[in-house]
Amino acid sequence: MKYPAVIISFMKIPVLHGWDLTTAEARELQTRLALRVIRSKTGIRPKTIGGIDVSVSRFSRLGRAAVVVLSYPSMELIDVATAEAEIDFPYIPGLLSFREAPLIMKAFKKLNRKPDMIMVDGQGIAHPRRLGIASHLGLLLDITSIGCAKSRLIGAHGSLPPEKGTYVPLVDGDQIIGAAVRTKLAVNPLYISIGHKIDLAGSISYVLTCCRGFRLPEPTRLAHMAAGETLKSDKLVS
């Protein structure tokens, strides 16, 4: 599927580190970078929110990263960028960003407009070393980010009422690392966590505000569609 022509924005993104790392080096880097994550709100009032997702073929190493940008709070789609390449880093729980982030960065650089905030299909600090892909991307892009995962990586939580908008803390040891959040009546919760430059309450609030009758908030829902090549170009508004 083709989208309207995208003008390369020549967006400058600082390089924090290289990607040619062993798994041991990647874990050590996560531990160091986690110390730089800001876990408090920074007063941002977003006018746009981005969504990020990656699809990887079951039959090859081909990956497709998608970044969408939506107006906030109206949730109108205003920009889409994608990038495709073979992914060499293996799938290892806890090291998703080293597999997917380089491709996401290529897609992000194609955007005409940098979003004020991003929601990422993955973990923020709800991660063994407190640096999931949402936190990692927040640091790489110097942007407010929220982890919006469909499944739990670590932590435990109590029972969750079936009503939309209810949530319970996600706890690892003596730390609250996120929340299980019901985004639609009687469906499985999403696991929301701080990415970067935001607190947990704000993360939950933005996710719920961005839901439009589906389990996933619109930014990650449309990014998922774009990564799977099912997002229709007529959704874009000028």
Domain count, the chain: 1
pTM here is 0.92
**Residue 184 is part of which domain span?**
44-230
pLDDT of residue 233: 66
Q: Is residue 31 part of a domain?
A: no
Note the pLDDT of residue 15.
73
Q: Give the pairing of strands 144-149 and 117-120.
A: parallel
Tell me, yes or no, whether 2 lies in a domain. no
Q: pLDDT value at position 44?
A: 86
Reduce the secondary structure of 149-167 to three states and give it as a string: ECCCCCCECCCCCCCCCCE
In a domain, 215, yes or no: yes
**DSSP at 206:** H
pLDDT tens, per residue, the chain with 238 residues: 333 433 344 456 667 889 999 999 999 999 999 999 999 988 889 999 999 999 998 888 899 999 999 999 999 999 999 999 999 899 999 999 999 999 999 999 999 999 999 999 999 999 999 999 999 999 999 999 999 999 999 999 999 999 999 999 999 999 999 999 999 999 999 999 999 999 999 999 999 999 999 999 999 999 999 999 899 766 787 6
pLDDT at position 217, please?
98
CATH code of residue 55? 3.30.2170.10
- The pLDDT, as a whole number, for residue 234 is 65
Question: Closest by alpha carbon to 21, among 117, 92, 123, 89?
Answer: 89
Angle between helices 23-34 and 133-141 (to 10 degrees): 70
Q: Is residue 20 part of a domain?
A: no
* Contact yes or no for 145/195 (Cβ under 8 A): yes
Note whether residue 158 is domain-resident: yes
- Does 23 fall in a domain? no
- Measure the CA–CA gap between 125 and 15, rounded to whole angstroms: 21
The reported pLDDT for the residue numbered 150 is 97
Per-residue pLDDT, 8? 41
Q: Is 9 domain-assigned?
A: no
Q: Would you tell me how many other CB atoms lie within 10 Å of the CB of residue 168?
A: 15
Query: Is residue 39, in this structure, part of any structural domain at all?
Result: no
